[in-house]
Chain A
Amino acid sequence: MSKAAEGAAPMVRARNVHKSFGPNEVLKGIDLDVAPGEVVVVLGPSGSGKSTFLRCINHLESIQRGFIEVDGEQIGYALRGTRLNRLSDHAIAVQRRKIGMVFQQFNLYPHMTALENVVEAPIGVHGQPRAEAQANAMELLARVGLAEKANAYPRQLSGGQQQRVAIARALAIRPKLMLFDEPTSALDPELVGEVLSVMRDLAKQGLTMIVVTHEIGFAREAADRVVFMDGGVVVEQGPPQDVLGNPQHPRTRLFLSRFIEKV
């Protein structure tokens, strides 16, 4: 079921990515390609570096070795001839504008309504005319099932509704790549489904997505590829039926065995 066009330039290209916090080496050489339109689900035990890797992709964290490219551009650096220059804060901000991100804690702007949250970046960062941005935002809010909550403030919404607004907010910048960091982990169990169903729709529509999650069911249904990380390296990856159904590595098996009762 891979939608990844064979041989097309990858949307994400990560090579030998190393990241340490002080003496603590969290990423120990990650290689990963994500094709345009591909949905990659990253699984792994707590502390294995999943969030850190995701945050390196849009340079919320800087890496110490290797490189990451998104849409053919190296993130955080520019090669001038044979010299690799660090980019300015502003240039990095510009690079981030084509990458959407959804956080575990939603991080909606609490002093703005749902609609204002969604139009903030399109108007303020991408210079879209207000009327056009609002019409587009209403469409997106309708798409996540929240058209009638456009004027509600985040605190007046349930966790699941807040996360759906956060997804609409990230989609509003028309991202080439969407990063999800455990988007359902802060939600009550009965609210997880509504967020996953929105994400499944996005996956079907061909958005390139990297999703860190513990929802094995979502990985099985929506992922083109499952990546299993442990101890800062990619231990195993492949189509969901292989990695989830017939894991090769003992650590993958151990990790998945804890979810057996849930599956």
Chain B
Amino acid sequence: MEISSGEAALRDVANAHQPPAWGRWLLWAFVLAVAANFAWIVAHNPHFGWPIVGQWFTEASILRGLGVTLGLTVVAMTLGTALGLVLAIARMSKDRLFGSLSGLFIWFFRGTPLLVQLIFWYNLSTLFPEIVLKIPFGPVLASWNTNDLITPMTAAIAGLSLNEAAYMAEIIRGGLLSVDKGQVEATDAFGMTRARALRRVIIPQAMRSIVPPTGNQLISMIKATSLVSVIAMADLLYSVQNVYNRTFEVIPMLMVAVIWYLIITSILNIVQGFIERYYARGERGTVSADKVPVRVEEPA
């Protein structure tokens, strides 16, 4: 039916207007004014020592500390996620032995403070002066001096990644449980191996609920790495502490660290957004089915 005249034309929603929302604009103006004022006060407060912040922001020892923080985060997160995946799969398996070993690991590493774990790893040599590879109650296959193995670096990596693995295991297990049972059934019916079903069907779908809490973990991890300063690892926080112990410019140096931490987390937030969009593909409305050209390789 043609809508052309009279009330019908006036009621056509195609010509609708959005009435101006004066209240919201006022609120915006107020909030922006408060924010600008706060920024002005902070910028002009001499106690923040902005010139000093600028001077140290890209200084070599600070950048080295930043590198350590990022490196530790990447390594611990990678190892922690990989081990967490194994733990999650073990915990969900029908096998009682693997299930309980995994449960025990998670119970212990989530149940004790990370700081204590780090100190424990760092001081491993006082508990076990030698690390020995041998058959239980049988002959020794190899042995190492613990002090040679445990440097601040290896203690930090071991402590952070084992702790992270326990948390990632639970996040991944939750993700795997969120996948529809029918999907597992379909992979079974097609005779897929367990490993392939996980890799191709189950994990890609679990990722939708794994990614957001993992982003959270990653950001916690960046800050948790600052704990390694207790075992003399020169991370970002340790490096700024080193400086203000000499210069006593505590607040400006902490601002250096704070700004770097904020920059890194902002970048991670953006990356997380992209990853979430990738795993949301297949949701209704992301692509129009009819408009995508069909691309098929010709048989050789």
B20 near A: Cβ within 8 Å?
Answer: no
CB of B71 closer than 8 Å to a CB of A:
no
A60 with B188, Cβ < 8 A, contacts A151-B289, A155-B284 known: yes
Q: Does A185 contact B (CB under 8 A)?
A: no
Place the interface of chain B in its size category. Answer: 35 or more
B141 interface contact, C-beta 8 A:
no
* In contact, A125 and B186 (Cβ under 8 angstroms): no
Segment at the interface with A among B62-70, B100-108, B150-158, B198-206: B198-206
Q: Do B182 and A105 touch (CB < 8 A)?
A: yes
| B2, CB-defined interface residue at 8 Å | no
A124 near B196 with CB under 8 A, answer yes
A115 at the interface (CB under 8 A from B): yes
Docked-complex contact B192 and A124, CB < 8 angstroms: yes
- Inter-chain contact A110/B192, CB cutoff 8 Å: no
* A58, B185: Cα distance in complex, Å: 11
- Cβ of A150 < 8 Å from any Cβ of B? yes
In residues 39-94 of chain B, which contact A (Cβ within 8 Å)? none
Return chain B residues, CB-CB under 8 Å to A134. Answer: 296-297, 299
- Assess whether A173 is in contact with B190, with CB atoms less than 8 Å apart: yes
Give min CB distance, B68 to chain A, whole Å: 37
- State which of B186, B196, B294, B297 has its C-beta within 8 Å of the C-beta of A130: B297
Do A120 and B298 contact each other (CB < 8 Å), given the known contacts A103-B185, A110-B282, A156-B287?
Answer: no
Task: Check A111 against B300 for contact (C-beta < 8 Å).
Answer: no
Q: Is the CB of A153 within 8 A of B194?
A: no
Q: How far is the CA of A97 from the CA of B193 in the complex (A)?
A: 11
Across the interface, do A111 and B204 meet the contact criterion of CB distance under 8 Å?
yes
B300 touches A109 (CB 8 A): no
Cβ of B7 under 8 Å from chain A: no
Contact A135:B201 (CB < 8 A) given known A97-B191, A107-B183, A111-B282: no
CB distance from A13 to the nearest CB of B (A): 20
Task: Determine if B182 and A125 form an interchain contact, defined as CB atoms under 8 angstroms apart.
Answer: no
- Verify if A101 is at the interface (C-beta below 8 Å from B): yes
Closest to A59 in B: B188
From A124, A129, A131, A152, give the contact of B289 (CB < 8 A).
A152
- Interface residues as binary, A85-112 with B (CB distance below 8 Å gives 1, 0 otherwise): 0000110011111010101010111111
- Whether B294 contacts A153 by the Cβ 8 Å rule is no
Q: Is the CB of B182 within 8 A of A148?
A: no
Report yes or no: A89 in contact with B191, Cβ–Cβ below 8 A. Answer: no
> In whole angstroms, what is the CA distance A125 to B188 when docked?
11
Contacts of A135 in B (CB 8 A): 296-299
Is A183 an interface residue when CB atoms closer than 8 A count as contact?
A: no
Contacts of A121 in B (CB 8 A): 190-192
Indicate whether A157 reaches chain B with its CB closer than 8 angstroms. Answer: yes
B110 within 8 A of A: no
Which residues of A have CB within 8 Å of B298? 131, 135
Contact for B193 among A93, A107, A151, A153, CB less than 8 A: A93
Q: Is A149 an interface residue (CB 8 A)?
A: yes
B279 CB, min distance to chain A CBs, angstroms: 8
Residues of B whose CB lies within 8 Å of any CB of A are 180, 182-183, 185-186, 188-194, 196, 200-201, 204-205, 279, 281-284, 286-290, 292-300
Beyond the given pairs A101-B189, A103-B186, 14 more chain A to chain B contacts, judged by CB atoms under 8 angstroms and listed by A's residue number, are A89-B194, A96-B188, A107-B182, A107-B186, A109-B201, A121-B191, A125-B192, A132-B300, A134-B296, A134-B297, A150-B294, A152-B289, A155-B282, A155-B284
